Amino acid sequence: MARPKIALIGAGQIGGTLAHLAAIKELGDVVLFDIAEGTPQGKSLDIAQSGPSEGFDATMKGTNDYADIAGADVCIVTAGVPRKPGMSRDDLLGINLKVMKSVGEGIKAHAPNAFVICITNPLDAMVWALREFSGLPHNMVVGMAGVLDSARFRHFLSVEFNVSMRDVTAFVLGGHGDTMVPLTRYSTVAGIPLPDLVAMGWTTQEKLDAIVQRTRDGGAEIVGLLKTGSAFYAPATSAIEMAEAFLKDQKRLLPCAAYVKGAYGLDGLYVGVPTIIGKGGIERIVDIKLNAAEQAMMDKSVDAVKGLVAACKGIDPSLA
Ligand code: A3D
């Protein structure tokens, strides 16, 4: 049986890390695409040469030609520019929208049956635009943000409680921006919800509020430290988790930027919601009942995403 084919569109910080992880986990043969000549070829060769030590069987190919992604089972898109200190994700909209157009057309022409995971920011608007440009079914195009935002939340919580990260579950919904919605009621330590842990004296409401805010600012904190780019290790592992769920039909319940029509009262918008990922792509959207405060946060987040989608339509009339 042929190995799955994984096409990585963008061979920058996240793209290179994705390629290395995909190889180490033997998820399939990897094609690394970028418009920068030499970068995908050099990174592919370097990663292939880690094979003897790691002991993986996967081929690595670097390319500047979309024809090489032909027949890919999964495409993970990181093409574009990341933010620098002082920039918001939304500042990237104009330049990355043009990139989504060329990437969407490349996928449409060469890998129309792929499960496509978008990482490029501003995430919720870019995954929407990528879907429009590629014309793929909505259930096969998804954005990575919630897995990362939840992982950041889980990490901070595990440090606060001094428990293993494996026992902390957390949900962050809504758009991938300052208005994201960490759901404390649905976040637990081994099933014990965070509000109960506050009542049990494990932490205080003030500390929990500070962790929620740090999660919202999680990307900016790293941008501020790195100064020359944004986070890439955890974003790559998050997308690999999603790709694996698809390739292995794991039916994982993961928060992702999915196309929501009906659930959450939405009428066709990409936004972070709990999803089931299996061989059918996004197989189900889980419509959690939100309380009034959570719904208000979700509404604010949805409005921010709608504003970005409207801005895309303003820039590129073919999207209107
Ligand atoms: P970077 O290391 O700059 O890599 C981007 C790559 O895209 C570069 O190698 C470029 O040459 C390439 N590129 C530019 N235009 C094109 C094009 N038209 N076709 C193909 N390749 C192109 O950035 P990065 O890997 O650090 O980040 C990539 C993207 O992910 C950025 O937009 C970030 O803002 C975003 N990001 C999102 C998250 C989320 O959680 C959603 C987290 C971190 C970064």
The 10s digit of each residue's pLDDT in 3-18 is 999 999 999 999 999 9
Residue 89 pLDDT greater than 90, yes or no:
no
For residue 171, what are the β-bridge partners?
A: 183
Give the helix ranges, DSSP H, for the chain. Answer: 13-24, 39-48, 51-54, 93-110, 123-134, 146-161, 194-199, 205-216, 218-226, 233-247, 292-315
13 is in an annotated binding site: yes
Tell me the C-alpha distance between 77 and 90, whole Å. Answer: 18
Confidence of residue 87 (pLDDT cuts 50, 70, 90): confident
ipTM reported for the complex, 2 dp: 0.99
Report pTM: 0.97
The pLDDT > 90 percentage for the chain reads 93
> Across residues 207-214, what is the average pLDDT?
96
Residues marked active site are found at 176
Q: What is the pLDDT of residues 167-191, one digit of tens each?
A: 999 989 999 988 899 899 999 999 9
* Cα radius of gyration rounded to whole Å, the chain: 19
Let me know: does 238 contact 144? Beta carbons within 8 Å: yes
Calculate how far, in angstroms, residue 4's C-alpha sits from the geometric centre of ligand 1: 23
Tally of CB atoms within 10 A around 197: 19
Let me know: does 123 contact 235? Beta carbons within 8 Å: no
Mean pLDDT of the chain: 96
Among 13, 14, 65, name the best residue to mutate to test ligand 1's pocket (greatest count of ligand atoms within 8 A of Cβ): 14
95 is in an annotated binding site: no
Per-residue pLDDT at 309: 96
Calculate how far, in angstroms, residue 274's C-alpha sits from the geometric centre of ligand 1: 25
